Chain A
């Protein structure tokens, strides 16, 4: 999967707790993305980053924040997890001028 590691792969957490998901890449790609995948909705963009400390909101960013302090790491934080954030989260990377994106294996998050 193109040198992309997501951690953890599975997590169960309680409503109201903060959760951080990590995406680590070894490809030195400049662009990184967080998507969530839900039945009937496909993949929806949460946040993206075009470089270190350069992040922006996607379509479904409410309740999420991100940070990118190094090229290789992109962190997604659920500030106070809710049941509606139960989902599978995917990290993706790409390079400027190369439209193809490469995806990690996903993190299955359950909020109880």
Chain B
């Protein structure tokens, strides 16, 4: 299976704190993406990092990629209650198909 794994499975933090979630995968990749899913909704793309990049920022999001360890992390700074959602990493290989991780459920307590 090319499915990735994420940890932790669930994370609960206070509003204003930072949230870090990690992702691992098994193959060589072209890029790694992070998606967000609110309860009962579809996934929404957050950020993409290419295999030749090590770090990328977008607003309060910071993504790192370590291809030697086949791992990535997503940091959400200064979290808000509205950040409560499930977060998934997805890696893309030579073809266009995305292979998703198992997800991290983030709860931000007001």
Contacts and interface: CB of A to CB of B under 8 A. Distances in A.
Interface of A: 1, 4, 31, 33, 35, 40-45, 48, 50, 58-59, 90, 92, 94, 96, 99-106
B43 A90 contact: yes
B100 A101 contact: no
Contacts of B40: 106
Given A43-B88, A59-B1, A94-B96, A101 B45 contact: yes
B97 A58 contact: yes
Interface in B39-55: 40-45, 48
A103 B43 contact: yes
Interface centre among A40, A41, A101 (most CB of B within 10 A): A101
Interface residues of B, number: 27
A94 B48 CA distance: 14
Interface centre among B48, B88, B103 (most CB of A within 10 A): B103
Contacts of B31: 99
Given A33-B97, A94-B96, A99-B30, A42 B43 contact: no
Contacts of B6: 42
18 contacts: A33-B98, A42-B3, A42-B103, A43-B100, A44-B3, A44-B100, A45-B98, A45-B99, A99-B30, A100-B33, A100-B48, A101-B45, A101-B90, A101-B98, A102-B45, A103-B43, A105-B41, A106-B42
Nearest to A106: B42
B67 interface: no
Nearest to A105: B42
A99 B2 contact: no
A64 to B, nearest CB: 16
A42 B96 contact: no
A106 B43 CA distance: 9
